Amino acid sequence: MSMNERIAAAKRELGEDCVVLGHHYQRDEVIRFADHTGDSYKLSKMAAQARGQYIVFCGVHFMAESADVLSRPDQVVVLPDLNAGCSMADMAEITQVEDCWEQLAALGLTSDAGEGMTPITYMNSTAAIKAFCGERGGVVCTSSNARGAFDWGFARNEKILFLPDQHLGRNTAYAMGIPLSDMVVWDPFLPQGGLRKDRLRAARVILWKGHCSVHQRFLPEHVDKVRAKYPGIQVIVHPECRLEVCQKADGIGSTEKLIKLVEQAPAGSKFAIGTEIHLINRLAKQVAPEKMAITLDDSGCLCTTMFRISPQHLCWALENLVDGNVVNRIQVADEVKRWARVALDRMLEIQ
């Protein structure tokens, strides 16, 4: 029996007791078995609505953690490969964030209750950091609702601490009309973030020094090059890209929005997309030959941690569930889950 047949057989045997969630960046051989596909925001909602006992999350660790936070107590979340992490999420460690907050509080800019500053963490962060934000009056956001989260945060305080992706935070704030001079970048490896007290006091947005290793690779010259090669092509990019790239683009959006822009465009449209290569290749197959969809950078942009989950991992996880064995279970500690749930519930309420 082939690997695909074994996975299909295991899924049939588990039936409605198991739901497989697949992030857009997964390889085709895995995504084909997903019951639901989407970006982190859409899959968070799917996890919260899942009915089966088992949620098999084909994504990365922080996504599986969020699924565990949002799921029912009787549900079990499985990550087929525990090595599937996120380099951006790893750029903000909870002790670093706590230390940052203490230094900001010492300057009188915030407090344990979050007075004066709203902490907002991107979905690409650990459950501990989500809980940190929830406990201090903050919220989680995704690229789909970052603008709404910023509006929510500013309605409560004059300042925002945004982590861990500086680019999403900068692009969101800049699109709201906040000048770059009102933003600073906090380096967790430097005393006081490497910033002067007066700069911290004047800043409206404090950005964590983190980034997506995939999206940061796209450069402004890639936009110029692809436009010169394909006259009339539309450049659309993910907001995790650099500000300079986003400002040159014709459109900016989450993975869900990028897909819709291509799918809803008229026949003959041409797109260069600044995001992960698996999503682009899959989208290109779906819209060909009526439309063209290529990567913004010919050298390709692979999310190596997303790529770790293979059909073999998925098959192993599902067949173990069939045998009554739970492998690679993701469980968030109750005390962390409580406040992370608060922050995630706030996220799901923001458009």
pLDDT (tens digit, 9 = 90+) per residue, 81-122?
998 878 888 899 999 999 999 999 999 999 877 789 999 999
Q: Does the pLDDT value for residue 301 go beyond 60?
A: no
Q: What's the pLDDT band for 263 if we cut at 50, 70, 90?
A: very high
Instruction: Given CATH 3.40.50.10800, say whether it is the number of domain 89-212.
Output: yes
Q: Does the pLDDT value for residue 209 go beyond 90?
A: yes
Same fold, 3-84+306-334 and 215-295: yes
Count of beta carbons in the 10 Å neighbourhood of residue 177 = 7
pLDDT (tens digit, 9 = 90+) per residue, 140-188?
998 989 999 999 999 999 999 999 999 999 999 999 999 999 999 999 9
The strand pairing partners of 20, in sequence order, are 56
Give the predicted TM-score (pTM) of the model: 0.90
Domain boundaries, the chain: 3-84+306-334, 89-212, 215-295
CATH class of 215-295: alpha beta
Q: Which two tokens stand for residue 315?
A: 């098959």
Nearest to 241 by CA among 256, 254, 257: 254
- Measured CA to CA, the distance from residue 40 to residue 88 in angstroms comes to 14
Question: Which pLDDT belongs to residue 69?
Answer: 92
pLDDT (tens digit, 9 = 90+) per residue, 2-35?
999 999 999 999 999 999 999 887 888 998 999 9
- Measured CA to CA, the distance from residue 153 to residue 99 in angstroms comes to 21
Residue in the structure block whose two tokens are 């799901």: 348
Q: Which two tokens stand for residue 227?
A: 């436009």
Nearest to 38 by CA among 236, 212, 255, 214: 255
Is the bond preceding 239 in cis, omega lying within 30 degrees of 0?
Answer: no
Residue in the structure block whose two tokens are 């406990």: 135
CATH architecture of the region 3-84+306-334? 3-Layer(aba) Sandwich (3.40)
For every residue of 134-149, DSSP letters joined together read HHTT-EEE-TTTHHHH
Q: What's the pLDDT band for 205 if we cut at 50, 70, 90?
A: very high
pLDDT (tens digit, 9 = 90+) per residue, 38-73?
887 788 788 888 888 999 999 889 889 999 998 999
